[in-house]
Structure 1
Amino acid sequence: MVLGAELLKVLNKLYEPSRLIETTFKRYDIAFKTDAGGRPILLFMGKRDENGKIRGEHFARRLKFGPNGEVVKDHWDNKGKIA
């Protein structure tokens, strides 16, 4: 599964720092954790089961910053299925 441009727009926004945000995107349930700067760094995407856990894919974000604090590298890695 590849993250599309529309979902990346949602994930490139800043949110409340160090929180788990749960919402829906199109036909998927998504949950993402933010870092201290409010940037999403972990993404869980799929369908919620009867216990409220998301079954689907897990993604992790790699951010690399330059000497002036600017983002040099921003990449999402698919870490596989979550059960």
Structure 2
Amino acid sequence: MALNKKIAYFLQKTYSPDARIDDKMLGKDLTFITNENGEPVTLFIGTRRPDGAITGERYVRTIVRKPNSQEILKSHWDLKGKVDRA
């Protein structure tokens, strides 16, 4: 299943480096983890359990940068499967 375009657009922003961010969007609970540059690289999407874990799907972002630069040339999200916690 492809990642919703609105969620993908939301995840193009830069956040705090090496952070875990919990949010809610389009009726789904989101938890994403950022890299050292503050770019979301791991996403858990689904339903949040009372202990804070997510039951749903896990996506991982692949980022291709311009040579000798931190500028993103292209990126995409790959579905890695079902999860029962995050």
Task: State TM-score, norm by structure 2.
Answer: 0.89
Cross-structure match for 2:20 = 20
Asked whether 1:79 is paired with 2:83, we answer: no
Give the Å deviation of 1:80. Answer: 0.3
Cross-structure match for 1:61 = 61
Give the Å deviation of 1:49. Answer: 1.6
Give the Å deviation of 1:72. Answer: 2.5
Q: Structure 1 unaligned runs (5+)? A: none
Task: State TM-score, norm by structure 1.
Answer: 0.92
**Percent identity of equivalent pairs:** 37
Give the Å deviation of 1:42. Answer: 0.3
Give the Å deviation of 1:46. Answer: 0.2
Cross-structure match for 1:49 = 49
SS in 2 for 1:29: strand
Cross-structure match for 1:9 = 9
Rounded to whole Å, the distance in 2 between the matches of 1:52 and 1:66 is 37
Give the Å deviation of 1:39. Answer: 0.4
**1:30 counterpart letter in structure 2:** L
Rounded to whole Å, the distance in 2 between the matches of 1:56 and 1:76 is 16
Ranges of 4+ aligned residues in structure 1 off by more than 3 Å: none
Aligned length: 83
SS in 1 for 2:8: helix
Rounded to whole Å, the distance in 2 between the matches of 1:16 and 1:50 is 25
SS in 1 for 2:21: strand
